[in-house]
Amino acid sequence: MGGASALILRTEGLTVRFGGLTALNRVNFDLQRGEIRAIIGPNGAGKSTFFNCLTGVLRPSTGRFLFNGEDITGLPPNWISQKGIARSYQITNIFPNATAIENVRIAAQSRRHGWSLLTHHRAYRDIIEKAEAVLEAVGLRGKGDEMAANLSHGEQRNLEIGIALATEPQLLCLDEPTAGMSAAETRDTMALVRRIAKNLTILIVEHDMRVVMELAQRITVFHYGEILAEGTPEEIQRNPRVLEVYLKT
Ligand SMILES: Nc1ncnc2c1ncn2[C@@H]1O[C@H](COP(=O)(O)OP(=O)(O)OP(=O)(O)O)[C@@H](O)[C@H]1O
């Protein structure tokens, strides 16, 4: 059989130290292509540090990670983005004084090398079409000309997902995508994540357990920078170690 391997991401002994503090300790983590995986764990467990390594914001102290079999440890964020890993941030990453479509278009352009408006009309048309498709995918059809600052909180969060999607990732890392959302917005965003998950692999850090249990196919639990448990939502919910250190707190 041809085609890409089932394994999209593997970390090997990923370790991050901040002075005397070990934020990630020899983490070995495998992610299958097409999965929706949640990472949970108490405050300070290392979840953000893990995302920061995968997106090139942080260089691990030791260990490495492979994306599609290629060691891309320590590459700068823009190179990692080119390889196909995108991240939607918890803290807003949008340009508030640009329109929704401009926000997505700028991200889509970052995918193209040597892009020039004057010489590549066709490419420009493609980019606009791409940006419109992305807006539609994140439920913002018809909002393209609105200033990002004027969108509701939920719409802004979905626009952030759109900005990440516009870079055409294979792996999308979502940082608390439903934080601060109303119940209705949370439901919409969960539906959105399910829709986009048909075409890519999703890694999600989320504190809202209902969201995690409903969305994720598998869950990895971090605790003090190590993987404490991994399994289906059902397995994690009845794992005594998880209950002890995490769900009860
Ligand atoms: N830049 C930094 N310098 C020093 N210590 C840091 C730095 N970033 C994170 N830490 C520490 O590393 C540990 C892991 O932090 P991290 O933010 O990865 O946890 P987390 O699981 O994402 O927590 P939360 O759920 O609160 O976001 C914590 O003890 C934190 O204080």
Sign of the dihedral defined by the CA atoms of residues 46, 47, 51, 54, in that order: positive
In a 3-state reduction of DSSP, which class is residue 175?
Answer: strand
Top mutation candidate among 16, 27, 49 for ligand 1, by most atoms within 8 Å of CB: 49
Atom 11 (ligand 1) nearest CA: 23
Q: 48: CA distance to ligand 1 center in Å?
A: 7
57 pLDDT above the threshold of 50: yes
pLDDT of residue 120: 62
Average pLDDT, the chain: 90
1 pLDDT above the threshold of 90: no
Q: Considering the chain, tell me which residue range(s) the CATH 3.40.50.300 domain(s) occupy.
A: 1-84+172-185+201-249
Q: 219: CA distance to ligand 1 center in Å?
A: 20
ipTM: 0.96
Atom of ligand 1 nearest to the CA of 49: 18
Largest CA distance in the chain: 62
* Pairwise CA distance, residues 80 & 65, whole Å: 12
Q: What percent of the chain has pLDDT over 90?
A: 77
Atom 19 (ligand 1) nearest CA: 44
Atom of ligand 1 nearest to the CA of 24: 14
**Mean of pLDDT values over 156-177:** 94
Q: 135: CA distance to ligand 1 center in Å?
A: 33
Give the pLDDT band of residue 117 (cuts 50, 70, 90): low
pLDDT of residue 2: 42
Chain centroid offset of residue 149 CA: 22
Atom of ligand 1 nearest to the CA of 58: 1
CATH superfamily placement of domain 1-84+172-185+201-249: P-loop containing nucleotide triphosphate hydrolases (3.40.50.300)
Q: 43: CA distance to ligand 1 center in Å?
A: 8
- pLDDT (tens digit, 9 = 90+) per residue, 7-38? 999 999 999 999 999 999 999 999 999 999 99
Phi/psi region, residue 113 (left: phi>0; alpha: psi -120 to 50; beta: rest), is: beta
pLDDT of residue 112: 61
Q: 46: CA distance to ligand 1 center in Å?
A: 6
pLDDT of residue 26: 97
With a Cβ cut-off of 6 Å, ligand 1 is lined by 18, 21, 23, 41, 43-49
- pLDDT (tens digit, 9 = 90+) per residue, 188-245? 999 999 999 999 999 999 989 999 999 999 999 999 999 999 999 999 999 999 999 8
In a 3-state reduction of DSSP, which class is residue 108?
Answer: helix
